[in-house]
Amino acid sequence: MKTAMTKLFRIRELPVFLALVIVVLITGTANPEFFTLSGFQDITLGVAVVATLAVAQTLVIVMKHIDLSVGSTIGFSAYLIGDASSQGHGFWYCMGLALALGLAVGAANGFMVAYLQLPSLVVTLGTLYIVRGIFNEVAGGNTITEDMVPGPINFIGLNTFFGIPYLFIVAVVLMLIVGFIMKRIRSARDLYAIGSNLLAAELGGIPVARRVFLAFLATGAVSGLAGAVLLARFNTAAANSGNGLELSVVAACVVGGVAIAGGVGTVYGAVIGAILLQAITMALGALGIPQFWQLAVNGTLLIAAISLDRYLSTRVKPTSIMGAK
């Protein structure tokens, strides 16, 4: 029993999950509409984009890196999908295009971070601007409209499966797959090792550069494919699509216990973090609190998350081989 309890308390995602439950309960009590199916759909639909990107971002953050280019990538990808579709290309062609864009950005990021040893913060800030710049050039003043969106994407954006929006299901399935990989596949475990102690990872024979490269590549690929999610969600895309998303994504990860210092955190936490931030935004609306407070609350939550993390990590009781101290 005692070990079950300690195991429960070791779960990093517990605080953010409890916070989510509390937010939902309070808001639901104050405003019963929050508890309705449409309230649920609002949250789950609203969170799909950030949750998808947060899953991908987790791969990078656990290595103590960051990928800020995801907002530009997803926006550009959404535009390319719509654009290609409007020119008569099929769904799979469009998705191939999205994937190719994601892989290209991911490979560029990965190459510079892993092999040129440049700091990821700067590299991905650079690619954020570069991709956005190219996007602006390509898109100009054009806007993708609903009639240009490929059928399957349009479908998953608008429909639900037993009341659950398909978009949310996409995010959850991705979370489950990546979650499984990060827990059970050796090479993905290396990402945690790299983020926890880079020097030890190198000494321990972990192919650090290759892992870092592949993780950035995967993050890029998912961000590219996620263009479909963004397009499905809004049914439109223009040169400013996805602008600033990267920061919401990083915030979701951090709130969900994916430590920016690397080494810990799960995609489950990242998704719960995204849902919490979304729920709070909705809750403040439901409670009639002015919109501008939402950002302040999110910011406070972010700082609270990192403070809690700091507190918990200093509180860990060192065990000793000598038994008593």
Partner 1 sequence: MVANQSPILEMRNARKAFGGVQALNGADLTLYAGEIHALLGENGAGKSTLLKALAGVHKIDSGTITLNGKPFEQGSTRLAREQGIAVIYQEPSLFPDLTLAENVFVGRQLQSGFTVNWKAMEDEANKLFAQLGVKLDATSSARGLSIADQQIVEIAKALSTKATVIVMDEPTAALSSKEVDRLFQVARNLASQNCAVVFVSHRLDEVFALCSRITVMRDGATVGTELTKDMNESKVIQLMVGREVSELYPKLEAKIGDVVLKVESLGLAGQFTDISFEVRAGEIVGLAGLVGSGRSEIVRAIFGVDKYDKGSVTLNGKKLKPGNPSAQMVSGVALVPEDRRQQGLFMSSSINRNSAVTMLKRLSKLFIIREKSEAKLAKSWGETLSLKYATGFDPVERLSGGNQQKVVLAKWLATEPKLLIVDEPTRGIDVGTKAEVHRLLSKKAQDGVAIVIVSSELPEVMGMADRILVMREGRMVGQFDRSAATPEKIIAVATGASTS
- Give me the residues that bind partner 1 (CB under 8 A), please: 7, 183-186, 189-190, 192-193, 195-197, 199-206, 259, 262-264, 313, 316-323, 325
Output 171 or 194, the one with its CB closest to partner 1. Answer: 194
Give the separation between CA 315 and CA 313, rounded to whole angstroms: 5
User: How far, in Å, are 20, 22, 229, 312 from residue 14 at the CA level?
Assistant: 10, 12, 28, 12
User: Taking the CB of residue 30, how many other CB atoms lie within 10 A of it?
Assistant: 13
Output 1 or 322, the one with its CB closest to partner 1. Answer: 322
Give the separation between CA 315 and CA 123, rounded to whole angstroms: 35
Residue identified by tokens 């892993």 is: 114
Output 5 or 316, the one with its CB closest to partner 1. Answer: 316
Note whether 72 and 131 are within 8 A (CB): yes
Output 117 or 186, the one with its CB closest to partner 1. Answer: 186
DSSP state, residue 69: T
For residue 199, the minimal CB distance to partner 1 (Å) is 6
Output 38 or 187, the one with its CB closest to partner 1. Answer: 187
Give the separation between CA 57 and CA 222, rounded to whole angstroms: 9
Output 42 or 309, the one with its CB closest to partner 1. Answer: 309
Give the separation between CA 155 and CA 264, rounded to whole angstroms: 36
**Cα angle for residues 224, 229, 232 (degrees, 5° grid):** 130
Give the separation between CA 165 and CA 43, rounded to whole angstroms: 10
**Cα angle for residues 108, 110, 113 (degrees, 5° grid):** 105
For residue 175, the minimal CB distance to partner 1 (Å) is 18
Output 1 or 325, the one with its CB closest to partner 1. Answer: 325
Note whether 267 and 13 are within 8 A (CB): no
Give the separation between CA 189 and CA 62, rounded to whole angstroms: 10
For residue 322, the minimal CB distance to partner 1 (Å) is 6
For residue 312, the minimal CB distance to partner 1 (Å) is 10
For residue 96, the minimal CB distance to partner 1 (Å) is 27
DSSP state, residue 65: -
For residue 113, the minimal CB distance to partner 1 (Å) is 20
For residue 31, the minimal CB distance to partner 1 (Å) is 40
Output 140 or 184, the one with its CB closest to partner 1. Answer: 184
CA dihedral 308, 310, 315, 321 (to 10 degrees): 140
Q: Which one, of 61, 78, 126, lies nearest residue 242 by Cα? A: 78
